[in-house]
Structure formats: C-alpha cells, structure tokens
Homo-oligomer: A and B are copies of this chain.
Amino acid sequence: MALLDEREESSMEYSLYPFFEGEEYFAFAEPPTYFGLESGAAFGPITVNYQTYGKLSAEGDNAIYIAHALTGYSLVGEPPGPHKERGWWEPLLGPGKALDTNRYFIVCCNVLGGCYGSTGPSSRDPKRGKPYAMKFPVVTIKDMVRVQKRLLDYLGIRKVLAVIGGSMGGMQALEWAVTYPRTVESIIAIGCSGRFSPNGIAFNQAARMAIMNEPAWQNGDYYGKEFPGRGLSLARIIATITYRSNESFEKRFGRSLQNAENTNPFSFHEQFAVESYLHHQGEKITHRFDPNTYLYLTKAMDLHDLGRGHSSYHAGLKRIRGTVFLLGISSDILFYPGEVRGLAVDLRRCGVDSRYEELKSPHGHDSFLIEFEQMERYLKSCLEEVENNRQH
C-alpha cells in the first residue's frame, strides 16, 4: 500500500487541521490517470476522507449517502475513536435513530476542495511539491458528487436508498439525483435550491472579499506563514448572520449588552451580546477551517445550477427518477422557504415525484443543525416512505 502511505503523508504534512481517529481514506486518479472536472481541467491524484456507519447489507440495498454543508466534514455521527469532536448530526445517527445504524449503511466523505482530509487547496500539488493554494482548480457541486460516486463504487454500492443533505449538502443531494438518476432512489434536500440565488452569491462574494482583502492571505500562499484569520473570521460572521434570523437574535440576545455592568455602550468595542456571539463564531472557525477552502467551496455554491450541462434548467430536473423530499425552513433568509417550495413545484411540472414540507423554527437556515426533534421525525418519515415504496 505504498500509494496510500504517500497520500497520507502528503495530506498530513500540509493539512492545517487534526483528523479524526479511525477515519478512512480512498484515492483515485493516480498517475498516469487524471480526474476531469466540469470546467475542463483535469488533475490528480484525489484523496477522499470518509466515514461509514452501520453495515452494507448482503443485497447492497441499504446505503445512505450524507452530504455535508460548507464547513462540515465526514464525521456525521459518533467518532469512531476517542475524540472530543462530535458529529454534526450525531443526535440523528445511531441504533434506532432516524439514521438507524442497525438498518442502514451510512457514508459521508469530506468534499473535494475541502480541508478535512480530502484533496483541496491545502493539499500538496504533486507537480509543484507544495500546497495547491490558488492553483487548485475551481470545482463544482457536480465535481464533488462525481468524486462521491467513485467512493461509492469503491465501497461496492450500486444503488443508494437516499442522498441526504442540508444547505451545500442539499445542493449535492439534488445534483446526485440529476447526475446519477439510476443510482439514487430518493433524495432529502433541506434548505437549498436548484440553482443558487443572486442573493446567496452576493453574500458569498462579500465573504470571499473579506478573506482576499486581508494582506496575510497573500493570494492564497499563506501555508506555513501567517494565517489570514481576520479575513476568515469576518467571512464567517457575514455567513453566520445569514444562517440565523432576526427572530433568533431577538430571542437570544435582543439589544442586551455583554457584561452589562462593566460596559460603556458609547464605544467601538463589541459590546452588544449579539456582537460578542458573532465575534466568538468568527474566532472559532479560524481554529478549524482553511480560508482557501472557504473560497473554493463558496464558489462551488455560486456555480450550483442543476441545468448546467443540460439543454435547460428544466431538462436537468427532468432527468431525476427518484423521489425528492424538500424541506424548507420557515425563517431561512439564505434559502427562503418560498424558493424551496418553488423547486418542488418545478419538479412536479417536470414529472418528478417531489414533496415539500416546512420546518418551523425561528433559528433560520441553521435550524437543520439545531432542531433535532423535528429533523428526526422528518427524516424518519421520509425514509419510511422510501422503504414502503420499495416494497410495493
């Protein structure tokens, strides 16, 4: 396994972030082969960091693929080894849970372009012997999905019961259904749309500018040098505002001051509780995320369009064969519930079996990572329906 060792070394050497114990790797597009991208560029090798939960059935018919969101990773449930990090959907995954590890074989990988062990801008460019940085090619949601398909092929999975994801993960689920209609029996896509809105592009543009405006960013060549943390921090703050809602901020913070007794409100220090919260969110991300990955993944979101590569948007939608479960979030300001509902309507017009439901929460876009009880009921009912359909 010389190749795997080499890959691990190259990842470990340059990655800024700790990996989870017990994680697994798969690699492809080894020389002399390459992985061709939607842009026309081709590169390799590609390393894929992934996690699995449960066991693949003898019939190979119980696989679920989970796609993570922008700053997520392959750790969906409990970590395989002792580790302080928790999976981002841990309350939903385990024996008897919606993502029932007694019934399903669950797979999630870190996306192409990511910074949690899969090949991304912080990985070593074999041609240059140093991190790709901004020489990394622009990748798309479809490219991510095509990498995930390679992983499922490698794992011996021919048919997927469901692809499930929220936000950028929902984009991947939808792209799965369009790109591999015969592989996907259903998708469950939460807080996302069929093509990213100009409003979403605008917020991503602002976040990228925050990173690129920082001198320490150095056109992306900051590895081993000063970390452009202030820019990443601001990018995260901008994004976090769009992940929550005014109602959520009103409920949690209102206009209260942080350390009210000792605070002079007439100053430029971040003294409102909401400012302190956002400052903390901005600070936290700098310990766990690569700014260049932030640039590449937001660009992939901007380019999300189920019609690209097909004769029209509707031609893209018409390719879907499985059932599409769409969940809008009542207070979402990044993917307005009306937009998600609109996709359900478009899909039905295109002859696709689609359902729309709405998660009621004041907490905005991030509700799919917060409202676990509603998510548990929702995922359970969707998966039950998929299994019932299968039996008939």
A interface residues (Cβ-Cβ under 8 A, vs B): 38-41, 134, 137-138, 140, 195-199, 201-203, 205-206, 208-210, 213-215, 230-231, 233-234, 237-238, 241, 245-246, 249-250, 253-255, 264-268, 270, 272-275, 278-279, 295, 299, 302-303, 305, 333, 336, 339
B208 near A210: Cβ-Cβ < 8 Å:
no
Query: Can you name 13 A-B pairs with beta carbons within 8 Å?
Result: A138-B267, A198-B246, A198-B273, A201-B275, A202-B274, A205-B237, A205-B278, A206-B241, A206-B278, A210-B210, A210-B213, A213-B213, A246-B336
Bound: A270/B208 CA distance, A: 10
Residue of A197, A267, A299 contacting most chain B CB atoms (<10 Å): A197
Closest B residue to A305 by CB, please name it. Answer: B255
Partner of A333, one of B195, B208, B333: B333
A142 vs B238: C-alpha distance in the bound complex, in angstroms? Answer: 29
Shortest CB distance A332–B (Å)? 11
- Whether the Cβ atoms of B209 and A250 lie closer than 8 Å is no
Q: Which of B215, B249, B265, B279 is within 8 Å of A198, CB to CB?
A: B249
**Interchain CB contact under 8 A, B197 and A209:** no
- Evaluate contact between B241 and A213: CB separation under 8 angstroms: no
B213 touches A266 (CB 8 A): no
Contact B246 A205 (CB under 8 A): no
Cα A278 to Cα B201 in complex, Å, equals: 11
Distance in angstroms from A169 CB to nearest chain B CB is 21
Query: Contact at B295–A268, with CB atoms within 8 Å?
Result: yes
Q: Judge whether B138 and A238 touch: CB under 8 Å.
A: no
Asked if A237 contacts B209 (CB within 8 A), the reply is yes
CA distance A202 to B244 in the complex (A): 11
In the complex with contacts A246-B336, A255-B195, A305-B255, A278-B202 CB distance below 8 A? yes
- A196 is contacted by which of B206, B255, B333 (Cβ under 8 Å)? B255
